Amino acid sequence: MQVFNQIGFGNVKGDVFGGVTAAIVALPMALAFGVASGAGAEAGLYGAVLVGLFAALFGGTPTLISEPTGPMTVVFTAVVVALMVPDPATGVIPENAMAMAFTTVMLAGIFQVVFGVLKLGRYVTLMPYTVISGFMSGIGLILIIIQLPGLLGHASPGGGVLGSLEALPGLFAEVNAGELILGVVALAILFLMPKAWRRFMPPQLLALVVGTLLAVWFIGSGDYRAIGEIPSGLPSLVMPSFSAEDWMTMVINALVLAMLGSIDALLTSVISDSLTRKEHNSDKELVGQGLGNLASGMFGGLPGAGATMGTVVNIQTGARSALSGLVRAGVLGVVVFGASGLVENIPKAILAGIAIKVGIDIIDWGFLRRAHRLSIRGALIMYGVIAMTVFVDLITAVGIGLFVANILTIRRLSDLQSEHVRVLGKAEEGYESDYEGLDADEKRLLSDAGSRVALLDLSGPLIFGAAQTLTRQQNRLDHADTLVIDLSGVPHLGVSAALILERIMHDAAQRGARVIISGIQEQPRGRLEQLGVAKEVHAEDWVATRAEAVRRACGDHATSPGDIGQPAEG
């Protein structure tokens, strides 16, 4: 595997312009997410620099821009809120709470690297869309709710979503009019800025500049909540100590962060592919994302992933290689190391407005409007995941959503597979005869043989969903003196279905019936041989075609030798 990303120098102008533009877009977002998380604006900047730098260096998508995103910020914020709960006995917040939060980010990065090394990239996004949509929409709602206090001019009341909702009536009663106006101005710019203007300046940056100027000129410095001083440079490393219980908490939260970050990044990589007509390397991208989050957590930065807005802006302004990501990280690095004073007067209300707009954009409005038309069950799963994401917790939402969605999928697969399990021939008492799909010669032979010959016709991949149907059909085979099992249309035989077939063959052999298998393909034959069914089926009864198997089976029960294969009279 190539170590570095595709860093090219054949399009330097486009890559530099794309990187600079992406940095301009990233700055207000990083500040907003840093403040929203509770870790501080500097944490957003550190994450934007470090995740973006390492993902650009070691990732597998040349034009992907990686930075703190709305979904990752919401999950990290939930982690911080949970860890900052005061001790019930002393009322003191654990002193290593933030160290645990950033160690969680580091562990998430390590998990992502492991996902990439194990080549799990292609499987990460194999989740039902109803679950992904509900999860993302729930995250969008969380981001909106926890930013409402900031929009009204107040500090976060703590307690996450429920704490913010409980505090809202009191916050509305004591609203800070000046900061509310700043937040509304920011939202108005973000929603109403003409598309033609967006080509020259990102609306987030315009909202940041206009809002800050309004605050400084008309409200006055010190009369509104501003970001304040941001430390220059990266913080020093500290080695805290954790208990076994702390490690368990961090590992569970890190797995959630790693999975969400991987899904977020790889979905954005697909968008990048569609715009550039190139194909990304999923496993390599996970390694790059993991190294970025590992570095970000190590230096007190937010977790990040592929950012759709930054990636699209990067590509549309000319970027074609990972050089643009390196330029973007360099521009933001200048802000961190030498120009942090330029952002200390930015009002927090403006950042709350920007974060709320991100939350609104994360909500899957298109699917919310149409979900009930496509599938009532799917819509209920999505609404359930949204509710659990917002009011319970993210792990429970994804876990229960996946469980219910997979159960419904298994049920649907079982119904579909039951259509590919048929008993053909003249029916015994209580069943209708079925000759569908047989040619004229096969129909005549089976009709003449009566119920003494049963044809078990199987097709399609047979996995555990088919096992129940095979079990139900087993009773229809007990009357036959000869059983033909046609596997010519089965490319794959799962363990559960194979075990039921073994039992059917064994029961037939036990009662003295002959078993003939036709058209079996390589994988099903290997699976049955592993189970040792050769002792139930004679070597000469493994035949190539169904027609040959039917002739051989019906030959055992013909009224005279001349009856076999002869055309019917009349």
Indicate the domain borders of the chain.
12-85+93-228+245-362, 419-563
Q: What is the dihedral of CA 381, 384, 385, 389, to 10 degrees?
A: 180
Gap between the Cα atoms of 486 and 508, Å rounded: 15
Q: What is the dotted CATH code of the domain comprising 419-563?
A: 3.30.750.24
> How high is the pLDDT of residue 556?
57
> How high is the pLDDT of residue 345?
84
> How high is the pLDDT of residue 304?
94
Half-sphere exposure of 463 (CA within 13 A, CB side): 9
Which residues touch 279 (CB under 8 Å, ≥6 apart)?
Answer: 273
SS3 label, residue 116: helix
> How high is the pLDDT of residue 570?
33
β-strands 453-459, 482-489 pairing: parallel
What global pTM score does this model have?
A: 0.76
Which tokens is 260 given? 């969400």
Instruction: Give the residue ranges of the chain where pLDDT is below 70.
Output: 1-2, 125, 233, 340, 417, 425-435, 534, 556-570
> How high is the pLDDT of residue 106?
96
Gap between the Cα atoms of 65 and 48, Å rounded: 10
Decide if 553 contacts 449 (C-beta within 8 A): yes
Helices 203-214, 348-362: crossing angle, 10 deg rounding:
150
Decide if 17 contacts 25 (C-beta within 8 A): no
Instruction: Kindly tell me the burial class for residue 9, based on how many C-beta atoms sit within 10 Å of its own C-beta (0-12, 13-18, 19 or more).
Output: exposed
> How high is the pLDDT of residue 101?
93
Instruction: Determine the residue type at 248.
Output: M
Decide if 54 contacts 65 (C-beta within 8 A): no
Gap between the Cα atoms of 74 and 253, Å rounded: 12
- Enumerate long-range contacts of 492-495, CB under 8 Å, 24 or more apart: 492/461, 492/462, 492/463, 492/523, 492/524, 493/461, 493/462, 493/523, 493/524, 493/527, 493/528, 494/461, 494/462, 494/463, 494/464, 494/466, 494/467, 495/464, 495/527
Decide if 483 contacts 512 (C-beta within 8 A): no
